Amino acid sequence: MTDKALPETEPTHGGGTHLAPRRYFLFALPALLLMAAVIISPWLFTLVMSVMEFKVGGAINFVGLGNFTKLASDSRFLESVGRTFWFTVLAVVFPIGLGTAAAVVFHRQFPFRGLLRTIFIMPMMATPVAVALVWTMMFHPQLGVLNYLLSLIGLPPFAWVYDPNTVIITLVLVEVWHWTPLVMLIVLGGMAALPTDPYDSATIDGASDWQMFRFITLPLILPYIMVAVVIRTIDALKVFDTIFVITQGGPGTASETLNIFLYLQAFQFYNLGYASAVVMVFFVIIVALSLLLLYMRQRLKWNAA
């Protein structure tokens, strides 16, 4: 079937004919048209806009790569790119580490495991904007509960998101709280599918718990961790709601990531041409990172070992 080219028509069991592959195209056409309308055309439109100088209410002029060269020298944009990567690294590493640890814990049998697991995944169910609003109240330097808790143990108040030096790490804290359960679920699912034979052999050989984790569990769950890394990386790169609600990119521009910069350009300043150029750069970054991570995941697959 796959080796030979099909004839134009071929008898079928029912006495009818198979359509030639090129005729199958007709059936795929509606889906292709839909995809072109909702995915491809907006991208083409954005691409066209990115080479235009277009401010809502103003004239539209072709500027070629002008928007991109302007971006290359826009210090605020470049800083936002750096900040986005820094935020992403932290917002991936911590949930992955903690989520994996939590999965290892919840993989074991202990009383109230189901109840505790349900409680653990509850943050994930909340809407990001609602989460951000609650954290905003908790971060209030004078009236927030976090500083109150610190005061109970004799620690001085902390500035949380109200200090340019601590804002990013504090926002990462919210991300960690919110998305560690997702990582835990992915890894826990992977652990449930692990074979038991290697553990039996290791037990007979006298391996310790740590050795079994380090040399059996970890290599076997690595593909699942990579899935979590891919999902978390894309999510962390795209984070907008949490940051916008809590800090709006501040203090100053201390938490202004690429998304916030993009939002300002597009929906506050209405520089749609320039914002489209930012989108194109952002798209390239996300695709490149995703490809890299998918390649790494492929390398780490069990069957590839």
Partner 1 sequence: MSRIVDRPSRRFVVAGAAAGLAAPFLMRHEALGQSSFNWKRFDGTKLDVLLVKNPRSDLLQAHEKEFTALTGIQVSSEQIPEQQQRQKAMIEFTSGRPTFDVSMLALHVQKRLAAKGRWLEDLRPYLADASLTSPEFDYADFAEGAVGFGRQADGSVDTLPHFIDFWMVYYNKEMFQQKGITYPKTMDEMFAAAQKLNDPSKGVAGFVSRGLKNANIPVWTSWMLGQGMETVSATGQLQTDTPEAIWAGEMYKRMNREVAPPGTVGFNWNECQTTFMQGRAAMWLDGIGFATPLEDPTKSRIVGKVGYGVTPPGPKGHHSALFGDGLGISRTSTKKQAAWLYMQFMCNKGNQLAMLKAGAGSPGRSSALANPDAQVGSRFSKEYFECLAASGKIARAGLPQIIPVTEFRDVFGVGLTNTLSGADVATELRKATEAFKPVLEKSEQG
Q: Which residues bind partner 1 (CB under 8 A)?
A: 55-59, 140-143, 157, 159-164, 167, 247-253, 264, 267-270
Shortest CB 271 distance to partner 1, Å: 9
Task: Give the closest residue to 126 by CA, choosing from 182, 84, 87.
Answer: 182
Secondary structure (DSSP) of 250-271:
-STTTT--HHHHHHIIIIIS-B
Shortest CB 250 distance to partner 1, Å: 5
Name the residue nearer to partner 1 (CB basis): 161 or 228: 161
Structure tokens at 41: 């055309």
Name the residue nearer to partner 1 (CB basis): 97 or 251: 251
Question: Dihedral (C-alpha) 167, 171, 174, 175: value to the nearest 10 degrees?
Answer: -160
Whole-number Cα distances in Å, 171 to 31, 87, 175, 219, 260:
40, 8, 6, 31, 14
Shortest CB 39 distance to partner 1, Å: 23
Name the residue nearer to partner 1 (CB basis): 105 or 159: 159
Name the residue nearer to partner 1 (CB basis): 235 or 241: 241
Shortest CB 226 distance to partner 1, Å: 36
Structure tokens at 111: 């009383």
Shortest CB 270 distance to partner 1, Å: 7
Name the residue nearer to partner 1 (CB basis): 180 or 255: 255
Sheet strands (E) in 59-198: 60-62
Shortest CB 54 distance to partner 1, Å: 11
Name the residue nearer to partner 1 (CB basis): 6 or 129: 129
Q: How far is CA 212 from the centre of its chain?
A: 30
Shortest CB 79 distance to partner 1, Å: 11
Residue written as tokens 């007979």?
Answer: 204
Give the helix/strand (H/E) hosting 52: strand 52-54
Name the residue nearer to partner 1 (CB basis): 76 or 214: 76
CB within 8 Å of 63: residues ≥ 6 apart:
51, 52, 53, 273
304 HSE (CA, 13 A, CB side)? 10
